[in-house]
Amino acid sequence: MASRDARSFHGRQVFRWMYACRELDPKRWTDLPAALRADLIVSAHLAVGRIVHRTPSSDATVKYLIEPPGGGAVESVLMVKSGRVTLCLSSQVGCALGCDFCLTARMRWIRDLTPGEILGQVALIQDDRTLGDRRFNVVFMGMGEPLHNYDAVMSAVRTLTDADGFGLSRRRITISTAGLAPAIERLAGEPRRPKLAVSLNATTDDVRDRIMPINRKYPLGRLLEACRRFRERTGDSFSFEYVLLEGVNDTDEDVTRLARILRSHPAKLNLIPFNPVPGMLPFRPPPEQRVNEISKRLLDLGTRASVRWSQGADARAACGQLAVLPGERGAGALSEMGPRSAAGPPSRRATGSRTSWGVRGS
């Protein structure tokens, strides 16, 4: 607004129209001066992206293939369970962390999403499912590592929780991380702080190094120290996620070490049986009986452990199955997969000077 010699409070009005009212036509922003509206009609670029394809699952889960305004494609998921609606969002096109059990890693990192492109997933799904004012939850567990795109994700969180934005409680939002320890500590200082879920997935550095390359930079001791600092600084509880891989991290010794970790770092543990992707990922989940044995033993050892059976597996929409692969609808520029890397994204390219409004912008 300042760049247009307009009063600053008009910015809040525009924000409310775009997000709370979901009206993206400046002609309808009737509480703005006519001259300002005329200027915005000509100069503002509003873009929300588009839904390219929907893949329904037998359990009412729907996977969305979405093309954001900045190019490429991401997958997002709507889950409904016992009347509870959850939107699983992507924060990046691809991912740089290279976890062996996650299909997104096969894409490599392509680019970060902007705050508006993250919010665009919410807006598109909300309109597609006519959710209206119905409350929903948001989990950043889709494509990408949310804390690798920290500033954009937190900007999106602020809009999601703003009364003039999507109006969600911060307790309805969860960020899942593969273990970027410094970013976990930074998150502890956020005033509008979402819930935190940490993907543990191994009880020794040797195993975690092999299946999660980020562990070579932030090993278990450093990660657990960041979790301890997060809890001490915020008073918030958090959760550990543990993808069960048969013959890799499901031994009796792993169960004993898990219980020891949870005694030192009180948290809820979600056990997630691996979701297979035949011909693409070289792992299997433990048999259901073994999963239940692990859960029971952890409970007997005094932990807060539960099994989280993923939704949407038959639509390749479950945990670890999201990816836009070559030849798929909406793959666009993702024409080639390359080697995975634990390194961070390359330097950002300079952006153009064109004004960008609407769900695309920050």
DSSP 210-227: HH-GGGGTS-HHHHHHHH
Residues 206-228 have pLDDT tens digits of 999 999 999 999 999 999 999 99
Q: Which of 75, 117, 145, 241 is catalytic?
A: 75
Residues 192-211 have pLDDT tens digits of 999 999 999 999 999 999 99
**Catalytic residue status for 75:** yes
Using CA atoms, how far residue 327 sits from 278, 331, 332, 336, in Å, is 17, 7, 9, 9
d(CA 140, CA 88): 6
Work out the number of other CB atoms within 10 angstroms of the CB of residue 287.
12
Q: What pTM did the predictor assign?
A: 0.89
As a whole number, mean pLDDT of residues 89-111 equals: 96
By three-state DSSP, how is residue 4 classified? Answer: helix
Residues 251-285 have pLDDT tens digits of 999 999 999 999 999 899 999 999 999 889 999 99
pLDDT band of residue 179 (cuts 50, 70, 90) is: very high
Could you tell me where the DSSP H helices lie in the chain?
A: 9-15, 34-43, 115-128, 150-161, 181-187, 205-211, 220-234, 252-264, 288-300
Residue in 252, 282, 362, 357 with CA at minimum distance from that of residue 23: 357
Query: 338 — phi, psi (to 5°)?
Result: -125, -175
| Amino acid letter, 187 | L
**Catalytic residue status for 319:** yes
pLDDT of residue 329: 55
Q: Which of 99, 102, 227, 319 is catalytic?
A: 319
Residue in 126, 121, 3 with CA at minimum distance from that of residue 14: 3
Q: Is 197 exposed, middle or buried (0-12, 13-18, 19+ CB in 10 A)?
A: buried
Residues 10-54 have pLDDT tens digits of 999 999 999 999 899 999 999 999 999 999 999 888 889 999 999
pLDDT averaged over every residue in the chain: 89
- The two tokens of residue 253 are 């010794």
Q: Which of 225-234, 305-314, 317-326 has the highest mean pLDDT?
A: 225-234
pLDDT of residue 215: 98
Q: What is the CATH number of domain 47-334?
A: 3.20.20.70
Residues 182-191 have pLDDT tens digits of 999 999 999 9
By three-state DSSP, how is residue 80 classified? Answer: strand
pLDDT of residue 250: 98
The residues spanned by each domain of the chain are: 8-46, 47-334
pLDDT of residue 135: 87
pLDDT band of residue 328 (cuts 50, 70, 90) is: low
